Amino acid sequence: MADYILETRELVKRFGRGKNKQTAVKQVSLHVETGKIYGLLGSNGAGKSTTLKMITGMRPTAGEIRPQGRPYPHRSATHGGYRGDYRQWATCL
C-alpha cells in the first residue's frame, strides 16, 4: 500500500444558490504519494484553482481531504488562520 502525503475523496465545490448554482469541482479524488512530484492540468474553468484552494483551506461542498491520512480540520469562514500559497507560473511568463 502506498504512503500518501495527501488524499482527497470525491471533492465537490458548488457556488451560488437556486437557479444560479454552479458546480466548479465535481468528485475529484487524488492520491499524492510521498516523495513524488505532481501537476494539476486542465483547460480554463476545469476547477484546478478551486481544487487547490480547497486543499489549502477553502471548505468543500462535499468530499474529504486527508493530509497524512488524517481528517482535515476545516475552520469556519470567520475563523482566521494560515493558508498556503501557490503560483500559476504560466501567467508569469
pLDDT tens for each residue of 56-82:
889 999 999 999 888 877 655 544 455
pLDDT of the residue at 37: 92
As a CATH number, domain 4-92 is: 3.40.50.300
State whether the Cα torsion 30-33-34-36 is positive or negative.
negative
Which has the higher per-residue pLDDT, 80 or 19? Answer: 19
Domain ranges of the chain: 4-92
Task: Kindly tell me if the per-residue pLDDT of 22 is higher than 60.
Answer: yes
Length of the chain as a residue count: 93
Element (H, E) at 12: strand 4-15
Task: Kindly tell me if the per-residue pLDDT of 34 is higher than 60.
Answer: yes
Q: Exposed, middle or buried by CB within 10 Å (0-12, 13-18, 19+), for 12? A: middle
pLDDT of the residue at 92: 52
Task: Kindly tell me if the per-residue pLDDT of 87 is higher than 80.
Answer: no
pTM (two decimals): 0.74
